[in-house]
Structure 1
Amino acid sequence: MEYGSVLVFVILAFCLGAVLIMRKDTIPPKLKRGMAIFALIMILVAFFLIVYNLLTMGSSPNGG
């Protein structure tokens, strides 16, 4: 698995969530709900990737 890509995705997902929380008053109401759902999905996938990487941390990528 490409750990650099996973790390970038996790950082971006949490940054998007933080920006949406901090700037929630300035986001237009029509975009707010869609962006919140999109950020929630990204954060859930990021948590899944973190847990998956922690569970498979000790295994060898080539099976040997």
Structure 2
Amino acid sequence: MDNSNLFIFIVCAFALGVVLILSRNNVPPRLRRGFALTAVIMVAVAFILMIYSLYTMGT
């Protein structure tokens, strides 16, 4: 697995999560749930990929 692409995705996912948390009052109510769901999915995938990368680092 290419670790540079993984690192960029992880940084972007966590940055998106932070931006959505900090600007939750400025998002229109209609879009709030979709943005939050997208951020949660991206952060979860980033966390899973981090764990997978640590697990396969030894091989």
TM range (shorter): over 0.9
Distance 2:36 2:23 in 1: 12
Hey, what does 2:24 align to over in structure 1? 24
2:10 aligned with 1:44: no
Larger Rg: 1
Percent identity among equivalent residues?
46
Distance 2:19 2:31 in 1: 14
Matched residue count: 59
State TM-score, norm by structure 2.
0.97
Tell me by how many angstroms 1:38 deviates: 0.5
Deviations 1:18-53 (A, max 9, x none): 000000010111111001001000000000000000
Q: Which has the higher helix share?
A: 2
Distance 2:52 2:32 in 1: 30
